[in-house]
Chain A
Amino acid sequence: DVKVTQSSRYLVKRTGEKVFLECVQDMDHENMFWYRQDPGLGLRLIYFSYDVKMKEKGDIPEGYSVSREKKERFSLILESASTNQTSMYLCASSLQKVTYEQYFGPGTRLTVT
């Protein structure tokens, strides 16, 4: 069974703080993704990575950065958190070229006050 875990289920941060969200998968997947989920807006891709140290911008990368130093770990960084970054953040992973099914983590609900 694929297991994707995220470092926190709930997080409350203050405006201007640097925030780290971590995602770990245990199935040796090459691809990893970060999404934010807001009501009525679906799943919007922030960044993704298809290999260690490789990253590509998704549809809404502004205000975010990512790090992938190891294959199993993909971190999302909010350099200076703002209230409009209050959201549910979902991490996902998938294999390349065998199946493109994405396996999601449980999500982190981030509140920025």
Chain B
Amino acid sequence: GENVEQHPSTLSVQEGDSAVIKCTYSDSASNYFPWYKQELGKRPQLIIDIRSNVGEKKDQRIAVTLNKTAKHFSLHITETQPEDSAVYFCAASIRDTNAGKSTFGDGTTLTVKP
């Protein structure tokens, strides 16, 4: 089955700096890569996703890049703010099969220091 590795497990940055979280996946058939943010005590929520026919996607301060050849994808947060502090999960899945079942990484705890 699919295996997703996520690094780093913890990340601490100063407010205003950039943060990068990286994930690798094993199944070359995976074609959908969402990122979820989980604030303390709350449920995970989708913040951005990318499909395998696209190399990069941006949404304001958040961007995701995908390298299909190397089987890795990354989340980039620019101009970090304290409210970006949360646990971030990457995931990989194959659309149109298995009900869109996603395999999640272990999560990255991001702390943004004011």
Identify the A interface with B (CB < 8 A): 30-31, 33, 35, 40-45, 48-50, 56, 58-59, 90, 94, 96-97, 100-102, 104-107
Contacts and interface: CB of A to CB of B under 8 A. Distances in A.
B43 A96 contact: no
Interface of B: 1, 6, 9, 32, 34, 36, 42-46, 49, 89, 93, 95-96, 98-107
Contacts, number: 66
Contacts of A105: 43
Contacts of B44: 43, 90, 102, 104
A100 B103 CA distance: 13
Contacts of B102: 45, 100, 102
| Chain A, interface SS category | loop
B106 A40 contact: yes
A43 B32 contact: no
A48 B6 CA distance: 23
Select the residue from A43, A48, A58 with max chain B CB neighbours within 10 A: A43
A100 B106 contact: no
A90 B43 contact: yes
A107 B43 contact: yes
